[in-house]
């Protein structure tokens, strides 16, 4: 046993001796000895902290974590002293070959060595980056996507840095007996200010763990401010290669991408009818199917809903009621109402950040009775983004006024804010029409025993959708897009929330619980802050 311990001790002793000899060789090679009488200076940039990306309350979305850097003059003693603190020894040894002072990453800001300088600096992004699709990412310090790309020039041209200047000989080696000069700057306060609310974004990202693919949008219905934008799956800006090979395409921002809409569009059909003077008391008997020009369209309730009015049809999401209603609508009025509410329109949120236009049928296409019937309950060629659906709901909340969605408040130099120009809202539908739609949406949640979207600590209103895609999975089941769009509180709305789940079961069963969780947690957050 004694011999074994003696051998182990000898092994470590030899290893340490060899390491020390290597370090001594590197730091004392002839070509790095003081060989020139001419003095000069050598400046190291320790770090650069580029301009921030803030939420609406000036909470940083990036630069939230720290790392520790050490600047070392590579004498034998300093090298031995710093070895236990190194994060990357291979990098350290490569830098050591130069014989010049250099920067390396360490695991602590508290290295109790007089000749080793330590600094705390910001890590721009991390593996758990919040709002990655909005923030974007960089490659070689150049913005590639998101706000990093849209504001690349501003972000890169506004920075703070720490520099250290040494007196050196002709080989670049620090002269003995001289002190370094430290130019230490505080982190820049400049940055891009977004409409995103950090806490609401975090709530939505937590809720998004309930599904594999989809999106969540939270919007202020009065200003158009996007308070949260979540796309699932997300990606890590620190491991881009993993996401590149992911078949689920995590780089796509699903909140800004177009999907089959389904029954949510019944709100537009109802709006058009109300604007034409059709009474919400209009009765229609749903038998479970309806014949349109020889083509049979079926309701989701195969035995029908019986005799119902417009509100009941909305609560029950009766297809045949709205197909019958659409036959009474002027084609031009139908398309114009949909367009005014944001369908078929691209939205530029920042340079390179676009919510796509989707697809809205033309007036000419509605001369085909079957196509008009499809549009009545959101099927056929209709496509829209979660942002567009949020704009629809926001217009209903805001007494019929359409407000363009907004992602950027402005930029700041750290003291003053240069605000982006505000977009003017316009009247998309009449206030009374919006009022009646709100009654329909409130009844759909609050007065509907089958709704699973009803929060326990507030009231809510909304509409579900289970949109057919005409596409099938490996099990030969049709892929359905599950939607829920709504607002809360029902009587005094503060937030609009839209949830999209790709290949969900139904709008109510899949997207409804996600809306419920978000509404409850945002309400709880508001109560806590008050």
Consecutive H or E run containing 522: helix 512-529
Task: Identify the band that residue 244 occupies on the pLDDT scale cut at 50, 70 and 90.
Answer: confident
Residue 491, pLDDT above cutoff 80:
yes
Q: What is the pTM of this model?
A: 0.89
Tell whether the torsion through CA atoms of 83, 88, 89 and 91 is positive or negative.
negative
Whether the CB-CB separation of 135 and 148 falls below 8 Å is answered with yes
Question: How large is the C-alpha radius of gyration of the chain?
Answer: 31
Rounded to an integer, the average pLDDT of 372-389 is: 97
pLDDT, tens digit (0-9, with 9 covering 90-100), for 72-92:
888 889 999 999 999 999 999
pLDDT exceeds cutoff 60 at 10: no
Strands 52-54 and 191-194: parallel
User: Does the pLDDT value for residue 362 go beyond 60?
Assistant: yes
Cβ–Cβ < 8 Å for 41, 165 = yes
Query: Is residue 137 within 8 Å of residue 237, measured between CB atoms?
Result: yes
In the predicted structure, residue 223 carries a pLDDT above the cut 80: yes
More confident residue, 288 or 38: 288
Mean pLDDT, rounded, for 317-345: 97
Share above pLDDT 70 across residues of the chain, in percent, rounded to a whole number: 91
Average predicted confidence (pLDDT) for the chain: 90
Task: Write down the H helix ranges in 426-511.
Answer: 431-446
Token output for 517 = 């969780």
Quick one: which of 394, 405, 497, 481 has its CA closest to 445?
A: 497
Q: How high is the pLDDT of residue 115?
A: 81
Confidence of residue 349 (pLDDT cuts 50, 70, 90): very high
Q: Which secondary-structure segment (H or E) carries 227?
A: strand 226-232
Please give the angle made by the CA atoms of 73, 47 and 146, to the nearest 5 degrees: 155
Six-digit token pair at 360?
């809205």
Select the more confidently predicted residue: 125 or 460.
Answer: 460
Alpha helix (H) residue ranges in 152-293:
152-157, 198-207, 240-244, 266-275
Per cent of the chain over pLDDT 90 is 74
As a residue count, the chain comes to 530
CA 156 to chain centre: 21
What is the Cα–Cα distance from 211 to 233, expressed in whole angstroms? 9
**Model confidence at 50, in pLDDT bands (50, 70, 90)?**
very high
Q: Is it the case that residue 23 has pLDDT exceeding 80?
A: no
In 93-151, DSSP assigns E strands to: 102-106, 116-123, 138-139, 142-143
pLDDT at 242: 85
Per-residue pLDDT, 9: 43
Q: Measured on CA atoms in the order 497, 503, 508, 512, is the torsion positive or negative? A: negative
Joined together, the tokens standing for residue 157 give 């041209």
Rounded Cα distance, 191 and 186, in Å: 14
The domains of the chain, with CATH numbers, are 37-194 (3.90.1310), 198-529 (3.40.710.10)
Q: Binning pLDDT at 50, 70 and 90, where does residue 171 land?
A: low
Mean pLDDT of 177-186: 74
Q: Is pLDDT at 172 greater than 80 in this prediction?
A: no
pLDDT category at 526 given cuts 50, 70, 90 is: confident
| Per-residue pLDDT at 184 | 76
| Cα–Cα distance, 215 to 217 (Å, whole number) | 7
d(CA 447, CA 402): 27
Could you give the CA distance from residue 91 to residue 104 in angstroms, rounded to a whole number?
Answer: 8
Question: At 236, which helix (H) or strand (E)?
Answer: none
Given pLDDT bands bounded at 50, 70 and 90, which one contains residue 519? very high
Give yes or no for residue 512 having a pLDDT over 50: yes
* pLDDT over threshold 60, residue 25: no
* pLDDT-based confidence at residue 176 (cuts at 50, 70, 90): low
Residues in CB range of 362: below 8 A, 6 or more apart: 335
Rounded Cα distance between 525 and 199, Å, is 8
Q: What gap in Å lies between CA 417 and CA 139, rounded to an integer? A: 28
pLDDT confidence band for 168 (50 / 70 / 90): confident
Q: Are 439 and 270 in contact (CB under 8 A)?
A: no
The span from the CA of 155 to the CA of 461, in Å, is 40
CB of 167 closer than 8 Å to CB of 41: yes
Please give the C-alpha separations between residue 518 and each of 372, 441, 447, 457, in angstroms, as whole numbers: 35, 18, 20, 11
Phi, psi of 222 (to 5 degrees): -100, -30
Measured CA distances, 165 to 71, 102, 111, 511 (Å): 11, 11, 21, 58
> pLDDT, tens digit, for every residue of 384-438?
999 999 999 999 999 999 999 999 999 999 999 999 998 899 999 999 999 999 9
Query: Which of 159-191 are b and which e, b meaning 16 or more Cβ less than 10 Å from the residue's Cβ?
Result: ebbbebebbbbeeebbeeeeebeeeeeebbebb
* Tens of pLDDT, residues 230-242: 999 999 998 898 8
2, burial (CB in 10 Å: exposed 0-12, middle 13-18, buried 19+): exposed
**pLDDT of 1:** 45
Read off the pLDDT of each residue in 344-368 and give the average, rounded to a whole number: 95
Longest Cα separation, the chain: 102
Q: Which of 57-66, 241-250, 264-273, 446-455 has the lowest mean pLDDT?
A: 241-250
């Amino acid at each position: 046993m004694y011999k074994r311990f003696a051998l182990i001790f000898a092994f470590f002793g030899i290893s340490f001796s060899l390491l020390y000899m290597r370090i001594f060789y590197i730091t004392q090679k002839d070509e790095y000895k003081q060989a020139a009488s001419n003095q000069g200076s050598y400046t190291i940039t320790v770090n650069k902290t580029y301009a921030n990306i803030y939420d609406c309350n000036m909470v940083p979305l990036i630069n939230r974590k720290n790392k520790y850097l050490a600047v070392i003059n590579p004498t034998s003693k300093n090298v031995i002293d710093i070895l236990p603190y190194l994060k990357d020894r291979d990098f350290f040894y490569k830098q050591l070959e130069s014989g010049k002072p250099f920067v390396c990453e360490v695991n602590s800001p508290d290295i109790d060595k007089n000749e080793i300088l330590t600094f705390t600096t910001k890590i721009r992004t991390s593996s758990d980056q919040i709002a990655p699709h909005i923030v974007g990412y960089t490659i070689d310090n150049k913005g590639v996507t998101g706000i990093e790309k849209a504001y690349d020039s501003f972000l890169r041209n506004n920075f703070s840095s720490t520099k250290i200047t040494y007196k050196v000989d002709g080989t670049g080696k620090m002269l003995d007996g001289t002190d370094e000069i430290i130019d230490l700057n505080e982190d820049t306060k400049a940055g891009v200010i977004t409409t995103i609310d950090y806490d609401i974004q975090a709530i939505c990202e937590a809720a998004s763990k309930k599904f594999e693919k989809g999106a969540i949008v939270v919007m202020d219905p009065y200003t158009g401010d996007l308070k949260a934008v979540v796309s699932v799956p997300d990606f890590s800006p620190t491991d881009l290669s993993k996401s590149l090979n992911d078949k689920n395409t995590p780089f796509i921002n699903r909140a800004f991408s177009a999907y089959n809409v389904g029954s949510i569009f019944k709100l537009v059909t109802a709006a058009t009818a109300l604007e034409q003077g059709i009474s919400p008391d209009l009765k229609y008997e749903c038998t479970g199917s309806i014949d349109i020009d020889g083509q049979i369209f079926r309701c989701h309730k195969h035995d029908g809903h019986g005799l119902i009015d417009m509100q009941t049809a909305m609560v029950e999401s009766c297809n045949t009621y709205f197909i019958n209603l659409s036959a009474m609508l002027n084609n031009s009025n139908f398309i114009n109402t949909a367009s005014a509410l944001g369908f078929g329109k691209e939205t530029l949120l920042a340079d390179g950040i676009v919510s796509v236009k989707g697809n809205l049928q033309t007036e000419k296409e509605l001369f085909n009775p079957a196509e008009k019937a499809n549009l009545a309950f959101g099927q056929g060629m209709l496509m829209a983004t979660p942002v567009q659906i949020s704009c629809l709901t926001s217009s209903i909340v805001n007494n019929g006024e359409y407000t363009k969605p907004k992602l950027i408040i402005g930029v700041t130099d750290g003291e003053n804010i240069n605000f982006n120009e505000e977009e003017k809202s316009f009247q998309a539908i009449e206030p009374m029409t919006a009022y009646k739609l709100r009654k329909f949406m409130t009844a759909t949640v609050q007065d509907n025993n089958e709704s699973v979207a009803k929060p326990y600590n507030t009231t809510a209103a909304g509409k579900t959708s289970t949109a057919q895609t005409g596409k099938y999975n490996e099990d030969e089941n049709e892929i359905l897009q599950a939607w829920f769009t709504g607002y809360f509180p029902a009587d005094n709305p503060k937030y609009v929330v839209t949830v999209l789940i790709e290949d969900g079961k139904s709008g109510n069963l899949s997207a409804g619980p996600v809306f419920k969780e978000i509404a409850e947690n945002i309400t709880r957050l508001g109560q806590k802050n008050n």
